[in-house]
């Protein structure tokens, strides 16, 4: 890793030459200073952006670290004639005052031909001209975004703009295929994009009434070029590698003024999960299938499994395909439909080592798991948004889904006490699960009069039905007794859930800035769960005592009132909700368990924008979560004879309180951003375990309300250019402390987790041919278990990475990426270092650069390892899994539309 950092240092002189400062001022014809005017130094050869600056409140600009050379100086401001001047930079220069003239608008002319303004600011929208930023012929939208000032894209594809997380990516103002922003940014070709707009999208309420609230999403809108809207966009790609590895994908899109059509398809066996993590969950039959069908409940956020290295375990063959269509029948009014189908076949082997703690000591379990998991999922979403009448907005969103999964299991587990084998469990099982679901929400927003500004009415309903079968043979041996238990059980489970609700609210104006927001809502839920257990060694009839059937229902009535304040700089709301709940559950024909209660749930939001790019805010909310019906079943679930679970019909709902404060700064003049957030949460009546360790080290968990848990965290992220080195630097510090309670052998136990993470990264994007990125992240974890005595476990993870891209010409591209993961711990068997090295070489050919030939070598050192470590409740665990290793793949990509280079524009300079 030291060699990689040394390489980065040695390469730095390639990006640094003689550098100077270019400054000046901009005013209108009356001499009034013009803030937020864009000053750009363009490359004369192709008019792409070389350097830029923005004038401050006094109309002054300063462009630092300008390399010596010839440039085309461009100064622009919305509503004014763009100013051009050819210049040569050889020393630090103050250009003086630049006067912009107001543009005479010709109503018959809608655009100015031949003008390329790299960046402009229109009210709250920053707009980039994509042709002013160089990208490769095969680049996608994500590559273009990386070039834009004020926009950051991390290695996982997550996007920040003006220091804030981007929540939506639109194409021509419409959602693209999925609500996941990365579907658009990783698939749309960059050369099809004309402009990129970045803005805060207001809520539907605010758009209809013009009264701003604190609800908004940082949004990127990709505007397509006129000549590409009617044409088919996309590509077909196919790759193969020795060892029968393959990767095939198809992407096709077409846009018109009223229609948007997209289709995506892929199949591979190189552990590429699909379009997004959300889709990957569907590939594997949902979250329940990913957790093996078992029931796990964490005590607090910090007790969630701490996955070191975001690798995909096992050997996975994945396939997915879908279509999306939307029709715009009026301004901001459209119908849409989307279908996505997924499938996967996963072969996985795991070696799991656990250390379990009790008041009298500890014991260990070692497990070998061999699973073959297959899953298919189909999801249909559809809906409409109608804004044909400016006085109202009607929205409907519906969905339907079908999942089908199966799992072949071969497990071998051994429990040891003081090195003596106490329990041996061998399991062979065949499990299957399918689910049907449907739901929707209908919302109507109606603009009112001077007093009642808005009426809001929404209806929602959802239905879900699932069934599963588990055919399991277990041989449980207790060598110290000695004894053996052989079972062949079949479990058939059914779960149905239906819920719905209605919400009505209005917004009453008190004066120009103060409003009252009364609301009333109600929701109803009814569910049923049944399980039939047959022991084929005894009879083919279900065992009544182990075959429960339970129903659950609850109704909530939630009137609330809030006082709202809205001005140009400040948005605030404070209120309280009175929740009245009626709940009940019935086990077969037994007595009904009822619980009726009331809770006051306050909420508060305050946000102050004290300057452009400066914002401070505080948010507090309280919420309630009813227990899932499967947690109420009091009859033992003995699927795993070493791990028995009992539900509890008397579980109370969890009440959660969240309080956070944040401060955000983004300086568009220096491109510096600072984001800080601090806060925490308290969960009352947290649902957890009362765990007992019995004969043969069999663990029995009974669900109970364990009391309160809390977590608190702080996050600071800072990004700024290091102008002397020509790179951007990103620093992030994160800390989280959490604590939860439980019972072990009927005695109180407390678990605390303290996690600290520090990351540092550098990237240069100022050169046409080289991109160098390097950085590292260090995470320290300290988990403390108080169980008679205090037991502390510590483990450290370090990840370092370095990426180098070299594009010597339009035709050729090369890259090399290296990383190292280092796991150290006093609580696990040994330290572990995992180095990874990936290299690519690409050549663009065919007419209009339609073809791309790519050679990719992954895990060239053949050291990839699947490992995860966690600390949870009264145990620590280490899991090692099989994972895809080294391969070298040759792939060919053919673009459905020609890739065009940035066109040069000719500008007449006075």
CA distance 14 to 770: 9
CA distance 143 to 851: 18
Say whether pTM exceeds 0.75.
yes
Per-residue pLDDT of 146-157, as tens digits, reads: 888 888 887 777
Which range has the worst mean pLDDT, 113-122, 133-142, 453-462, 722-731? 113-122
Q: What is the pLDDT of residue 760?
A: 94
Q: What is the pLDDT of residue 191?
A: 84
CA distance 680 to 241: 49
Q: How confident is the model at residue 669 (pLDDT cuts 50, 70, 90)?
A: confident
Q: How confident is the model at residue 216 (pLDDT cuts 50, 70, 90)?
A: confident
As a three-state string, the secondary structure of 30-64 is: CCCECCCCEEEEECCCCCCEEEEEECCCCCEEEEE
- Relative to beta strand 672-693, strand 654-667 is antiparallel
Q: Please say if the pLDDT value at position 441 is more than 70.
A: yes
Average pLDDT over residues 389-409: 94
Q: What is the pLDDT of residue 593?
A: 94
Q: Provide DSSP, 121-183.
A: EETTEEEEEGGGS---TT-BHHHHHHHSTTEEE-TT--EEETTEE--EEEETTEE-SSS-HHH
Average pLDDT over residues 835-848: 92
Local structure of 668: helix, strand or coil: coil
Per-residue pLDDT of 670-687, as tens digits, reads: 778 899 999 999 999 999
Q: How confident is the model at residue 118 (pLDDT cuts 50, 70, 90)?
A: confident
Alpha carbon distances (Å) from 801 to 3, 430, 765 = 11, 41, 17
Q: Please say if the pLDDT value at position 833 is more than 70.
A: yes
Q: Please say if the pLDDT value at position 383 is more than 60.
A: yes
Name the β-bridge partners of 320: 266, 342
Q: What is the pLDDT of residue 285?
A: 32
Name the β-bridge partners of 723: none
Highest mean pLDDT among 298-312, 423-437, 820-834: 423-437
Per-residue pLDDT of 709-746, as tens digits, reads: 999 999 999 988 887 777 889 999 999 999 988 888 88
Q: Please say if the pLDDT value at position 883 is more than 70.
A: yes
Q: Please say if the pLDDT value at position 12 is more than 60.
A: no
Q: Please say if the pLDDT value at position 532 is more than 90.
A: yes
Please state, for a pLDDT cut of 90, what percent of the chain lies above it.
Answer: 44
Local structure of 508: helix, strand or coil: strand
Q: How confident is the model at residue 815 (pLDDT cuts 50, 70, 90)?
A: very high
Q: Please say if the pLDDT value at position 9 is more than 60.
A: no
835 vs 536: which has the higher pLDDT? 835
Quote the radius of gyration of the chain (alpha carbons, Å).
30
Per-residue pLDDT of 79-105, as tens digits, reads: 888 899 888 888 888 888 999 998 765
Q: What share of the chain is helix, strand, coil (3-state, %, to 5)?
A: 5, 65, 25
Q: Please say if the pLDDT value at position 292 is more than 60.
A: no
Q: Please say if the pLDDT value at position 536 is more than 60.
A: yes
Q: What is the pLDDT of residue 905?
A: 42
In this structure, what token pair is assigned to residue 831? 């330290």
Q: What is the pLDDT of residue 27?
A: 92
């Amino acid at each position: 890793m030291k060699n990689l950092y040394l390489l980065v240092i040695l390469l730095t002189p390639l990006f640094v030459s003689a550098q100077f400062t270019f400054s000046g001022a901009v005013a209108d014809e009356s001499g009034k200073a013009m803030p937020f005017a864009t000053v750009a130094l363009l490359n004369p050869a192709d008019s792409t952006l070389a350097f830029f600056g923005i004038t401050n409140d006094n109309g002054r600009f300063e462009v630092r670290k300008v390399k010596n050379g010839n440039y085309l100086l461009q100064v622009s401001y919305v509503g004014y004639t763009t100013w051009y001047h050819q210049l040569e930079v050889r020393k630090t220069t103050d250009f003086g005052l630049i006067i912009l003239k107001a543009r005479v608008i010709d109503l018959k002319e809608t655009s100015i031909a031949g003008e390329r303004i790299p960046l402009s600011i229109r009210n709250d929208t920053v707009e980039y001209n994509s042709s002013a930023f160089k990208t490769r012929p095969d680049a996608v939208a994500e590559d273009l975004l990386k070039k834009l000032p004020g926009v950051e894209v991390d290695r996982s594809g997550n996007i920040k703009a003006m220091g804030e997380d981007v929540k939506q990516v639109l194409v021509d103002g419409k959602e693209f295929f999925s609500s996941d922003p990365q579907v658009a940014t990783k698939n749309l070709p960059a050369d099809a994009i004309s402009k990129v707009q970045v803005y805060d999208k207001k809520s539907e309420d605010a758009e209809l009434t013009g009264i701003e609230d604190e609800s908004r999403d940082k949004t990127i809108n990709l505007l397509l070029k006129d000549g590409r809207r009617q044409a088919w966009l996309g590509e077909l790609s196919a790759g193969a590698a020795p060892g029968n590895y393959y990767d095939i994908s198809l992407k096709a899109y077409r846009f018109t003024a009223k229609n948007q059509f997209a289709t995506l398809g892929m199949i591979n066996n190189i552990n590429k999960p699909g379009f997004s993590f959300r889709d990957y969950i569907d590939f594997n039959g949902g979250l329940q299938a990913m957790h093996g069908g078992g029931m796990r409940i964490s005590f607090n956020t910090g007790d969630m499994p701490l996955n070191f290295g975001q690798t995909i375990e096992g050997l996975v063959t994945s396939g997915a395909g879908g279509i999306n269509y939307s029709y715009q029948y009026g301004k901001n009014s459209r119908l849409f439909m989307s279908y996505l189908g997924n499938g996967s076949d996963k072969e996985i082997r795991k070696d799991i080592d656990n250390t379990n703690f009790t008041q009298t000591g500890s014991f260990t379990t070692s497990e070998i798991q061999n699973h073959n998991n297959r899953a298919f999922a189909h999801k249909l979403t559809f809906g409409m948004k109608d804004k044909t009448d400016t006085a109202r907005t009607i929205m409907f969103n519906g969905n339907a889904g079908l999942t089908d999964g199966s799992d072949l299991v071969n497990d071998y587990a051994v429990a040891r006490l003081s090195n003596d084998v106490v329990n041996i469990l061998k399991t062979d099982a065949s499990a299957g699960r399918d689910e049907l679901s449907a739901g929707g929400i209908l919302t109507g927003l109606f603009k009112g009069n001077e007093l009642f500004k808005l009426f809001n009415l929404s209806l929602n309903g959802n239905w879900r039905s699932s069934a599963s079968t588990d055919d399991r043979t277990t041989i449980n041996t207790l060598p110290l007794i000695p004894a053996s238990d052989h079972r062949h059980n079949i479990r058939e489970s059914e779960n149905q859930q239906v819920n719905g609700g209605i919400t009505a609210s209005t917004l009453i104006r008190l004066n120009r800035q103060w409003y009252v927001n009364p609301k009333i809502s109600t929701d109803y839920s009814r569910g049923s769960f049944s399980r039939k257990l047959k022991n084929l060694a005894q009879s083919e009839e279900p065992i009544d005592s182990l075959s429960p059937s339970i129903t659950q229902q609850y109704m909530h009535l939630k009137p609330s009132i809030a006082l709202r304040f809205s001005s140009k700089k400040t948005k605030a709301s404070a209120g309280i909700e009175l929740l009245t709940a009626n709940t009940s559950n019935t086990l077969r024909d037994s007595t009904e368990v009822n619980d009726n209660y009331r809770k006051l749930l306050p909420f508060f939001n305050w946000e102050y924008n004290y300057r452009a790019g400066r914002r401070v805010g505080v948010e507090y909310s309280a919420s309630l979560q009813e227990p899932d019906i499967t947690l109420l079943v009091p009859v033992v679930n003995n699927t795993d004879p070493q791990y028995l679970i009992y539900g509890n019909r008397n579980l109370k709902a969890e009440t959660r309180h969240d309080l956070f404060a944040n401060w955000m700064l983004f300086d568009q003049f220096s491109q510096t951003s600072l984001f800080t957030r601090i806060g925490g949460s308290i969960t009352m009546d947290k649902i957890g375990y009362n765990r007992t360790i019995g004969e043969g080290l069999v663990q029995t968990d009974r669900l109970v309300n364990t009391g309160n848990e809390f977590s608190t965290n702080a996050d600071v992220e800072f990004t700024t250019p290091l102008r002397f080195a020509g790179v951007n630097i990103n620093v992030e510090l994160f800390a989280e402390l959490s604590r939860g309670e439980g019972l072990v052998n009927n005695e109180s136990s407390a678990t605390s987790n303290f996690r600290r993470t520090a990351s540092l990264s550098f990237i240069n994007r100022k050169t046409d041919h080289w991109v160098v990125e390097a950085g590292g992240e260090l995470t320290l974890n300290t988990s403390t278990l108080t169980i008679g005595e205090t037991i502390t476990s510590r483990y450290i993870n370090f990840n370092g990475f370095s990426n180098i891209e070299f594009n010597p010409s339009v035709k050729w591209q090369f890259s090399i990426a290296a990383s190292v993961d280092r796991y150290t711990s006093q609580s696990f068997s040994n330290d572990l270092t995992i180095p990874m090295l990936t290299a690519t070489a690409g050549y663009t050919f065919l007419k209009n650069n339609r073809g791309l030939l790519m050679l990719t070598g992954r895990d060239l050192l053949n050291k990839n390892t699947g490992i995860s470590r966690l600390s949870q409740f009264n145990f620590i665990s280490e899991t090692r899994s099989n994972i895809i290793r080294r391969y070298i793949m040759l792939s060919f990509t053919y673009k459905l539309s020609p890739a065009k280079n940035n066109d040069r524009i000719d500008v007449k300079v006075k």
